[in-house]
């Protein structure tokens, strides 16, 4: 058969199976980055929204997940095509040393705020499950996250992805099981898809849900995770990747789209189930605006099994998300300051503030809310450069965004930045 005919022939069953296995092998980074969408801040926001307003804010979770898909795909595409993370690209393009340092300061504050929320979540879960004091629970959470980072550094990204994926399964079971015990109202779910608010507090909660959903460190991390898995950070990274593994960049981007779709489907389903569980079982119950109160309400209203699984899911959420957050923090420092520091020291940089907050006896739920406020400041610094860079020919070449993708990215960025600005205004003014 002539070579051209062979190329035009439809793929055989073994070839299709091989392609399927290869695409499966290419997946993973989005699952790790997607842990940011299942962190304790999301749990607190969705649980409070469901308990206070029932199904009213279902549409917010859905809209946030759709925007998250686009944003995470753009981040992954940047890492795949350039062989660099977003912090590395910014560190190369910001010409002045002081400009890079200033950008790093805000990104580092975001990383610290992220860690505060995630360590607190793990500490609260350990306290609920075993009665461990919050400070010691925070320290245990930090140590476990350090072990996960050491695993990633010594065994490579693939093993790290498997471990995080396992924790995601635990998170999903922990937070979804209760929906089967206390099924939500289908009519209420359908009604919740209609965008609307009921007063200022519902607007604040909607902004909190979106602020806890789309987080700056997930954007920084996903580009780095894709780089680590696929593209050597050298000139001609795309050509090198194709030569080494026989994988074309278009095929790799197709696998990335599937990876992001699966990760966001899991994260969106879990977040929606948290809200639906609260709407069905905790509506009007007192004290559900805190993780401890939600646990107690679940235990008293549905039973200890659901409450215990909720706490186990919260623990897995804290452990997985703080490890990914610390990974993002290390990448931010390396990309913008062009320095690497020992892993233990890097872990302590963001862990110590979280432990200080716990040691001072700050209310964990208040600390979670304040951490989301800090995260709101970091959203524009991650979103705007991401959309701008992925639209540039001199950055992504033929793989730059199509016009409609850029329009969707700009629209999502404007919407998220406006809502986060509203969140800041409402919190700071006490409205």
Helices (H) and strands (E) in the chain, counts: 20, 0
Q: Contact, 44 vs 357, CB < 8 A? A: no
> Which of 388, 413, 385 is closest to 400 using CA atoms?
388
The burial of 300, by beta-carbon neighbours within 10 Å (0-12 exposed, 13-18 middle, 19 or more buried), is given as exposed
Confidence category of residue 21, pLDDT binned at 50, 70, 90:
low
Distance from C-alpha of 46 to C-alpha of 44, rounded to nearest angstrom? 6
**pLDDT of 9 strictly over 60:** no
CB-based contacts of 283, cutoff 8 Å, min separation 6: 50, 51, 54
**Distance of alpha carbon 83 from its chain centroid, rounded?**
21
Contacts of 273 (CB under 8 A, 6+ apart): 175, 176, 178, 179
Of 372, 301, 341, 363, the C-alpha closest to 134 is 363
State which H helix or E strand residue 38 sits in: none
- What pLDDT is stored for residue 230 in this prediction? 76
H helical segments located in 361-402: 364-390, 393-396
**What is the model's pTM?**
0.86
What is the structure's pLDDT at 26? 67
Closest CA to 72 of 423, 337, 330, 412: 412
Sign of CA dihedral 84, 268, 116, 306: negative
Instruction: Determine contact, residues 245/14, Cβ cutoff 8 Å.
Output: no
Higher pLDDT among residues 212 and 42, named by residue: 42
Q: What tens digit of pLDDT does each residue of 51-87 get?
A: 889 999 999 999 989 999 999 999 999 999 998 999 9
- Given CA atoms 152, 381, 103, 99 in this order, what sign does their dihedral have? positive
Q: What is the mean pLDDT of residues 273-297?
A: 85
SS3 call for 56: coil
Q: Give the C-alpha separation, 351 to 358, whole Å.
A: 11
**Residue ranges with strand state E in 18-147:** none
372 pLDDT above the threshold of 80:
no
Question: What pLDDT score was predicted for residue 108?
Answer: 86
When pLDDT is averaged across residues 399-406 and rounded to a whole number, the result is 93
Segment 280-284 mean pLDDT? 84
- Predicted pLDDT of residue 235: 44
Compute how many other C-beta atoms are within 10 angstroms of the C-beta atom of residue 248.
Answer: 12
Which phi and psi (to 5°) does residue 363 adopt?
A: -55, 125
Q: What pLDDT, in 10s, does the model give residues 312-370?
A: 999 999 999 888 888 888 889 889 988 877 777 777 877 888 888 888 888 887 787 67
In this prediction, residue 18 carries a pLDDT of: 47
Q: What is the DSSP letter of 310?
A: H
Contact 298, 282 (CB under 8 A): yes
Report the C-alpha gap between 413 and 229 in whole angstroms.
27
Which range (5-14, 32-41, 409-418) has the least confidence? 5-14
- The number of residues in the chain equals 431
* 384 vs 18: which has the higher pLDDT: 384
Q: What percent of the chain has pLDDT over 90?
A: 39
In this predicted structure, what is the pLDDT of residue 76? 94
Secondary-structure breakdown of the chain: helix, strand, coil percentages, each rounded to the nearest 5: 85, 0, 15
Average pLDDT, the chain: 84
Question: Which tens digits make up the pLDDT trace of 197-253?
Answer: 887 788 878 877 877 778 888 899 999 998 888 754 444 444 444 544 456 788 888
pLDDT(293) > 60 = yes
Q: For the chain, which domains are there? A: 25-275+287-429 (1.20.1740.10)
Best CA proximity match to 120, nearest among 217, 43, 61, 37:
43
State pLDDT tens for residues 155-178: 877 888 889 889 999 999 999 999
**Distance between CA 380 and CA 211 in Å, rounded?**
12
Determine contact, residues 137/348, Cβ cutoff 8 Å.
no
Exposure string (b/e) for 70-86, b if CB count within 10 Å is 16 or more?
bbbbbbbbbbbbbbbbb
Q: What is the pLDDT of residues 85-127, one digit of tens each?
A: 999 999 999 989 999 999 999 998 888 888 888 899 899 999 9
Check residue 198 and report its DSSP letter: -
Q: Which residues contact 411 (CB under 8 A, 6 or more apart)?
A: none
SS3 94: coil
Contacts of residue 360, Cβ cutoff 8 Å, sequence gap at least 6 = none
Q: What angle do CA 74, 79, 82 make, to 5 degrees?
A: 110
Q: Is the pLDDT of residue 264 over 70?
A: yes
Mean of the pLDDT values across residues 285-299?
83
């Amino acid at each position: 058969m002539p070579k051209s005919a062979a190329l035009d022939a439809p793929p055989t069953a073994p070839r299709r199976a091989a392609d399927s296995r290869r695409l499966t092998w290419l997946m993973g980074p989005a699952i790790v980055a997607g842990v940011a969408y299942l962190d304790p801040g999301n749990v607190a926001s969705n649980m409070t929204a469901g308990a206070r307003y029932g199904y009213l804010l279902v549409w917010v979770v859905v809209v946030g997940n759709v925007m998250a898909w686009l944003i995470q795909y753009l981040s992954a595409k940047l890492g795949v095509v350039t062989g660099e993370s977003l912090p590395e690209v910014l560190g190369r393009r910001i010409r002045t040393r002081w400009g890079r340092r200033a950008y790093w300061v805000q990104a580092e504050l975001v990383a610290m705020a992220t860690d505060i929320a995630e360590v607190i979540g793990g500490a609260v879960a350990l306290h609920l499950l075993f009665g461990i004091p919050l400070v010691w629970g925070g320290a245990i959470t930090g140590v476990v996250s350090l072990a996960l980072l050491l695993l990633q550094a010594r065994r490579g990204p693939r093993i790290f992805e498997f471990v995080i994926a396992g924790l995601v399964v635990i998170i999903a079971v922990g937070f979804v099981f209760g929906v089967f015990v206390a099924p939500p109202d289908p009519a209420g779910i359908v009604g919740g898809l209609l965008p609307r608010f009921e007063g200022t507090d519902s607007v604040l909660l909607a902004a909190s849900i979106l602020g806890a959903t789309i987080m700056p460190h997930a954007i920084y991390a996903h580009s780095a995770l894709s780089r680590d898995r696929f593209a050597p950070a050298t000139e001609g990274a795309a050509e090198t990747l194709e030569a080494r593994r026989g994988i074309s960049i278009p095929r790799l981007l197709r696998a990335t789209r599937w990876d992001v779709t699966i990760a966001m489907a899991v994260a969106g389903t879990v977040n929606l189930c948290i809200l639906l569980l609260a709407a069905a079982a905790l509506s009007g119950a007192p004290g559900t605006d805190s993780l401890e109160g939600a646990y107690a309400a679940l235990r008293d209203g549905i039973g200890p099994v659901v409450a215990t699984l909720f706490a186990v899911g919260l623990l897995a959420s804290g452990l997985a998300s703080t490890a990914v957050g610390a990974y993002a923090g290390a990448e931010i420092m390396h990309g913008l300051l062009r320095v690497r520091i020992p892993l233990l020291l890097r872990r302590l940089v963001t862990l110590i503030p979280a432990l200080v907050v716990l040691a001072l006896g700050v209310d964990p739920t208040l600390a979670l809310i304040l951490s989301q406020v800090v995260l709101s400041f970091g959203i524009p610094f991650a979103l705007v450069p991401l959309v701008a860079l992925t639209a540039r020919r001199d950055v992504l070449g033929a793989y730059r965004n199509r016009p409609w993708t850029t329009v969707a990215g700009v629209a999502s960025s404007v919407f998220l930045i406006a809502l986060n600005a509203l969140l800041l205004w409402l919190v700071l003014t006490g409205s």
